[in-house]
A and B are shown apart, each in its own frame.
Chain A
């Protein structure tokens, strides 16, 4: 497993362009947090997390991380070099997806924590608790988004389905209706303190993210293993 993780990890940390994109999105989140702080908003952390971080930065950060891990190819095609050495396609796809999910979860958690600390307002929950809960929501949301985009990357010769799922998340996730329940966006917003979709509890949204992540991951790996979109 460790050997299979080396390629996606190397793509992530050694390719300058995706690193710059990730850094840019992190900078955007921090900038919004600083704006909220300078405005002296009583619920600064809530605003920054629900607004810029949850709605914009986390999905695009996950999109960039998944793209970098797959080298902007489809999930199956990204694993072809390792499959050529004799690795099982299922295992290659699974490990690649796990690397993307772990990286997005880590980045999502750290960034959410940073935003919560920087933008913390007088009426926000206690700082330590807010930072911890935000990190938890960022990690869970990041991992779910990674699976979501990995599933997208299993469609299309160059994984173009990733962009389609970004739009689907944006459009359906913003409706707040039943259709929003199948997207990570609605649940992430709920966990970060936004409007709950169909009045769901935070616990239900957390479960929703786990289910979305698991279903997308299994589906994506299955598609990649069957060699679909491996050109």
Chain B
């Protein structure tokens, strides 16, 4: 559905070259910060940025082809909406431009819980509401088959935020290809079926999940426990084989290991053994840098570049 062949692009100071990638229907994450090229990749796939070299194919055509363009839904951090129209009118115009049958705009907005915005002027919306409206338009469009979303749950109306993941999965089940550019490993894990790890315009790894990503590094999984007696818990955790590193952080205990599930079990055993009262216990997703390190480690272990 989306294929890049030997694509090179530049948006100073970022440069990409020789990217050959493809995505089929599903939700896919491009994991990396703004300086890593996720947003640039979305712009290239969406036809908003022209690659310097290589070929981009989307839905069997170029992204700028007249028959392809209306089937791409692109939601950048600051989406452009028709300011002078009301939200409902904007959705009606969008449907006509995309060649869809007319539908009740409030019904479409209800998919993200923002139907109350329908009679409002676009010009009067907050940036969070604008993002939610743009996302609702793209997600509920019947003709859109490729969704390109930059940080879909960041800076978005709080009514819409909890519904984004379900809406994206529903579109993926419907046969759409959803690309999500995000700097959050947790976000990538929660939203996407797989993730591509980017660093400074290069692909440093590919993983099916956070666990798979974390499994590539010795201590990428992290267990955080806030308890009544951190010193006692540290002592019992130190005896667990799955725990590779231990530390105290602001009154909590942080244990690191390779496998998050095994780490959680070890934590539970240690808590019972130490007899401490637990206020909070959570597995933290790896940071972006840890994810990159894990991806690079996995690639090296596999015997070459990803």
Contact = CB atoms under 8 A, between A and B. Distances in A.
Contact of A6 (B81, B93, B134): B93
B89 interface: yes
A81 B69 contact: no
B96 interface: yes
Contacts of A87: 69-70, 97
A82 B97 contact: yes
B89 A86 contact: no
Contacts of B90: 81
A66 to B, nearest CB: 15
Interface stretch (B71-79, B159-167, B234-242, B286-294): B71-79
B79 A7 contact: no
A34 B79 CA distance: 49
B273 interface: no
A10 interface: yes
Contact of A84 (B74, B85, B89): B74
A85 B84 contact: no
Interface magnitude class on chain B: 20 to 34
B98 interface: yes
B72 A86 contact: yes
A81 B82 contact: yes
Interface string A1-22: 0111011001100110000000
Given A6-B89, A88-B66, A71 B83 contact: yes
Nearest to A2: B96
Contacts of B134: 84
A6 B94 contact: no
A85 B80 CA distance: 9
A10 B69 contact: no
A10 B85 contact: yes
B80 A80 contact: yes
Given A86-B97, A87-B97, A10 B82 contact: yes
A85 B98 contact: yes
A85 B83 contact: no
Contacts of B96: 2-3
Nearest to B71: A86
A81 B80 contact: yes
Contact of A10 (B79, B84, B94): B84
Given A3-B97, A6-B89, A6-B93, A82 B82 contact: yes
Nearest to B92: A3
Given A7-B93, A86-B70, A81 B83 contact: yes
B66 A7 contact: no
Given A3-B96, A4-B97, A6-B89, A88 B69 contact: yes
Contacts of B82: 6-7, 10, 81-82
A140 to B, nearest CB: 28
A113 B80 CA distance: 40
Interface string A52-88: 0000000000000000000100000000111011111
- Which 5 A-B residue pairings sit nearest by Cβ, starting from the closest? A86-B70, A3-B96, A10-B84, A85-B94, A11-B84
